[in-house]
Chains A and B, each alone.
Chain A
Amino acid sequence: MNFSWFTDTFSAEHLRVAVLDALRYSTKEPWFFTEFTFLATFGIFLLGYALLFKQEWLRKVYIILFSLFFYYKSSGPFLLLFGLMIVSDYLFAIQIEKAQGRKRKLYVWLAIGYSLSFLLYFKYVDFFIANCNNLLHTDFSAKSLFLPIGISFYTFQSISYILDVYRKDIPATKDFVDYTFYMTFFPHLVAGPIVRAKDFLPQIFQPQAINTTLFKDSIFRIIIGLVKKLFIADYLAKYADLVHLAPSAYSGGENLLAMYAYTFQIYFDFSGYSDIAIGIALMLGYKLKENFDNPYTASNITIFWRKWHISLSSWLRDYIYIPLGGNRKGEVNMYVFLFITMLVGGFWHGADWRFVFWGFAHGAALAFHKAWSTLLETKEGAKAEHSVNSPWYAFPAKIGNTLLTFHFVAVCWIFFRARSFQSAYDSIRTMLFKSQWVDFQGFWFSRPEIVIMLCVAASIVFFPVVIKQQLFGWIKKIPAWLWIFIMLFALQIITQFRDDVVQPFIYFQF
């Protein structure tokens, strides 16, 4: 047997080049969890972790160093910017804790303003310049800045820490290493979940014991996340991307299926990422909160927002909606606060009016649902509710409501995904006025794989949760030594079916 291919690849020269390359950063090709090099490196990192995990300080420093390297690989010099934010927020929080009265408030505003200034500058400066030019006919040139990866996430995380200290929900962290650990912990660093200090900081001192159950849970979450992202989301992305480039060039049926494709894609992409992040953190003994809870099975938009991107929606609720007044300042104000909160949520996703509109649409839907629920609580409404509770009505109504909510969310995703308002309008118009049954027949003949993948995605999303839990429970009974084969099998299956080009995680760009 000739092994020259092996010895050539692993020759000293190639290894030297590979190591040098591994130490180089690339802002164009971030180091995703889905990269096999990341997985291999993380596996090797765990071997070191096994040696150090019993010494608290070493454990923390070891994870911090890996986290900083992880961030450096995607952002290079922007690591310094991140470091600057960590140092300043750490110092601000200590000052806020010490200060009293006005001074305390002043520090809070300074800290929040300081943290937000990075986000506003890097993410929104071009948006403001473009709008300023449009409105005032000025001629400022766009900056075309690189958006440091994860800035939206760690800015929100830092603000929540400052506000929690201000509200005395948690004490300011005195140990700089602890605070750095909280901010830089790599599983949640670049695309969430947005971690609250009060949930995470206590774990720094006492992570959970890594036993067989936890081992299986974490490996299982990583595998599920990889399959969701690389197998399902990336496959659907190819079709959704194709149609959204020029929606008017496609039939109504094709646009409709592209809408479904993107609806499932964004869910499998982001929840897949969250699964991997949670699995990786768990493998180190740290628990991140769940970010998704079968959101497409929600029977109304309010429930949807309790199940979708939970860490963001709860952040918006706790740090914007409730501080504004929540439902404590009258009905009209409540609707206004709801709109403001959702507009901020939309704008957080991107510096484009499409995202603002997306937030507005969801705000309107939430307000409508709130008003409708209030109506049902009145006397006349109680009658209607009685009939609603009838078993003959309840089940079909739940299905109807779920489908209605799902389709509202799906239509809103068009604005999220489209390249422009015009493109979104074209897509919806084509769907409404250029749909023919024959389109679907033709589609089935020309792209059966996409139809099958859509069916697979829908089955996973709408499959009863109880049965899923049962199934997962059985899978986790597989002995620990067999999981290496399951991992190998999963990676090969992914390789077998996925496209050569992995799409970046959608939420990396936010």
Chain B
Amino acid sequence: MESSNKPNTINDHSLGPIEGSSRGLIVWAGLVIAIPSLLIFIFSISPYTITIAGWELKKFQWGTGLESTSIENEEGLTEQDTTSFQPFAVTDTATTLTIDSLNPQPASAGGFKVSTTLTPFFNPIFNDTTKHRVLLIGDSEAGGLRYPLNDYCLANGHKLVACVEWYSATVFNFAKADTIARIIQQYKPTYVFVVMGLNELFAKDLKARSSAARLLAKKLQGIPYTWIGPANWEEDFGINDVFARAADEGTYFYTKQLVLPRADDGRHPNNKGYRIWMDSLAGWINTSAKWRIPLKTPTKRARPLKSDIIMMNAAKFRGY
């Protein structure tokens, strides 16, 4: 269709001057372009979903680098603001309501004594001595961290109740889906480790990821957590800072400061790398984190892992 001398191209018109144009046709041309665009927009902000032959129609992602609104500014973004323009916030409304009614319940499982109140957790320099139900969620890095974390949990009386490993996932996956809410409801953790970002080192749509990260932090519903930054294999475009700003003060661990031995793919740490990573993280939690829990260095390593492992793969490749 690109050749200028072929049939059916713009050269074929036997056109007269523009005054001979049909006004109605120009109006129709405007409507043909404007109405579908507006319909796509309205559908994207609506709380409804449409499924055709088993296929759910995806909503246009406003505010993810393609669009910008003054409401979506880097600082001072509120959830109420985002719901107006960002479909993922709208679709999460129902989930959020569920989460709001889901205050972490005192739980007792497997003979572990767990915290019965959340009050102390809001102390910024709190030193917790209780035994925790630990949940690890994240991208593929969670798959490597689970073993050394398990060693630490066993050595300190905690229980690693579950690991959610969402391969190829980005912060959007976690923020959009109700996965975290369900996992929290099911396992009732009292401490959460979040690790992600390896698939987003070179993301440039930082504003959108910032709002998603804030939403994710809210989805943890006040449960004490540590947000572990990605194990950078290259300098990122700012995702570490975005996550650090979204997380509560003193809860973000900059992994990128560590030099970690890597696996064959050059990106993920190898087994030794994950151990070094966990050791550094534990040291930081013991001394500097907002939510400190006992994490003394284990004397035994590579102990059996009995936690539930929940593996998922991002439905589509959503890499960099």
A209 touches B27 (CB 8 A): no
Max chain A C-beta neighbours (<10 A), residue from B7, B38, B40, B57? B40
Residues on the A chain within 8 Å of B84, using CB: 8-9, 14
A9 touches B45 (CB 8 A): yes
**Docked pose: A18 CA to B63 CA in angstroms:** 13
B66 touches A35 (CB 8 A): yes
Say which residue of A40, A59, A469 sits within 8 Å of B38 (CB atoms): A40
What is the minimal beta-carbon distance from B29 to any residue of chain A, in angstroms?
5
Stretch at the interface among A44-52, A136-144, A343-351, A374-382: A44-52
A residues contacting the other copy or chain, number (CB 8 A): 90
B67 touches A484 (CB 8 A): no
B10 touches A278 (CB 8 A): yes
Query: Quick check: is A53 within 8 A (CB to CB) of the other chain?
Result: yes
Residues on the B chain within 8 Å of A499, using CB: 318
**Docked pose: A50 CA to B33 CA in angstroms:** 14
B61 touches A500 (CB 8 A): yes
Say which residue of B34, B45, B69, B317 sits within 8 Å of A17 (CB atoms): B69
B208 touches A500 (CB 8 A): yes
Residues on the A chain within 8 Å of B172, using CB: 500
A468 touches B33 (CB 8 A): no
Residues on the B chain within 8 Å of A54, using CB: 18-19
B residues contacting the other copy or chain, number (CB 8 A): 75
Stretch at the interface among A21-29, A111-119, A123-131: A21-29
Instruction: List which A472-496 residues lie within 8 A (CB) of chain B.
Output: 472-473, 476, 480-481, 483-484, 487-488, 491-492, 495-496
Say which residue of B13, B36, B60, B71 sits within 8 Å of A487 (CB atoms): B36
Residues on the B chain within 8 Å of A34, using CB: 66
Instruction: List which A274-323 residues lie within 8 A (CB) of chain B.
Output: 275, 278, 282-283, 285, 287, 289-294
Query: Quick check: is A217 within 8 A (CB to CB) of the other chain?
Result: yes
Stretch at the interface among B104-112, B197-205, B251-259: B197-205
A215 touches B29 (CB 8 A): yes
A53 touches B319 (CB 8 A): no
**Docked pose: A229 CA to B173 CA in angstroms:** 24
B234 touches A42 (CB 8 A): no
Stretch at the interface among A99-107, A151-159, A243-251, A258-266: A243-251
B13 touches A224 (CB 8 A): no
Q: Which residue of the partner chain B has the closest CB to A37? A: B67
What is the minimal beta-carbon distance from A202 to any residue of chain B, in angstroms?
12
Query: Quick check: is B101 within 8 A (CB to CB) of the other chain?
Result: no
B58 touches A496 (CB 8 A): yes
What is the minimal beta-carbon distance from A60 to any residue of chain B, in angstroms?
12
Query: Quick check: is B32 within 8 A (CB to CB) of the other chain?
Result: yes
Query: Quick check: is B284 within 8 A (CB to CB) of the other chain?
Result: no
A206 touches B18 (CB 8 A): yes
Query: Quick check: is B53 within 8 A (CB to CB) of the other chain?
Result: no
Contact A242 to B10, CB < 8 A, known contacts A36-B67, A45-B30, A491-B37: no
A449 touches B317 (CB 8 A): yes
**Docked pose: A275 CA to B3 CA in angstroms:** 12
Query: Quick check: is A211 within 8 A (CB to CB) of the other chain?
Result: yes
Contact with A along B22-33 (1 / 0, CB 8 A): 111111111111
A210 touches B21 (CB 8 A): yes
Query: Quick check: is A213 within 8 A (CB to CB) of the other chain?
Result: yes
**Docked pose: A469 CA to B40 CA in angstroms:** 30
Instruction: List which B37-71 residues lie within 8 A (CB) of chain A.
Output: 37-42, 45-47, 55, 57-61, 64-71
Residues on the A chain within 8 Å of B38, using CB: 40
Query: Quick check: is B4 within 8 A (CB to CB) of the other chain?
Result: yes
B64 touches A501 (CB 8 A): yes
Query: Quick check: is B16 within 8 A (CB to CB) of the other chain?
Result: yes
A206 touches B17 (CB 8 A): yes
**Docked pose: A103 CA to B27 CA in angstroms:** 50
What is the minimal beta-carbon distance from B230 to any residue of chain A, in angstroms?
14
Residues on the A chain within 8 Å of B10, using CB: 214, 217, 278, 282, 287
A483 touches B266 (CB 8 A): no
B70 touches A21 (CB 8 A): yes
Say which residue of A53, A206, A222 sits within 8 Å of B26 (CB atoms): A53
Say which residue of B25, B65, B69 sits within 8 Å of A21 (CB atoms): B69
Query: Quick check: is B233 within 8 A (CB to CB) of the other chain?
Result: yes
**Docked pose: A198 CA to B38 CA in angstroms:** 38
- Lowest 3 A-B CB distances belong to which pairs? A43-B34, A46-B30, A249-B266
> A-contacting residues of B (Cβ < 8 Å)?
1-4, 6-10, 12-13, 15-42, 45-47, 55, 57-61, 64-71, 84-85, 90, 172, 202-205, 208, 233-234, 265-267, 316-320
User: Could you list 15 A-B pairs, sorted by A, with CB under 8 Å?
Assistant: A9-B84, A36-B66, A40-B33, A54-B19, A208-B13, A238-B317, A290-B9, A469-B1, A469-B6, A473-B7, A473-B8, A487-B32, A488-B35, A496-B55, A500-B65
> B-contacting residues of A (Cβ < 8 Å)?
5-6, 8-9, 14, 17-18, 20-21, 24, 26, 29, 34-37, 39-40, 42-47, 49-51, 53-54, 59, 206-215, 217-219, 221-222, 224, 238-239, 241-242, 245-246, 248-249, 271, 275, 278, 282-283, 285, 287, 289-294, 447, 449-450, 465, 468-469, 472-473, 476, 480-481, 483-484, 487-488, 491-492, 495-496, 499-502
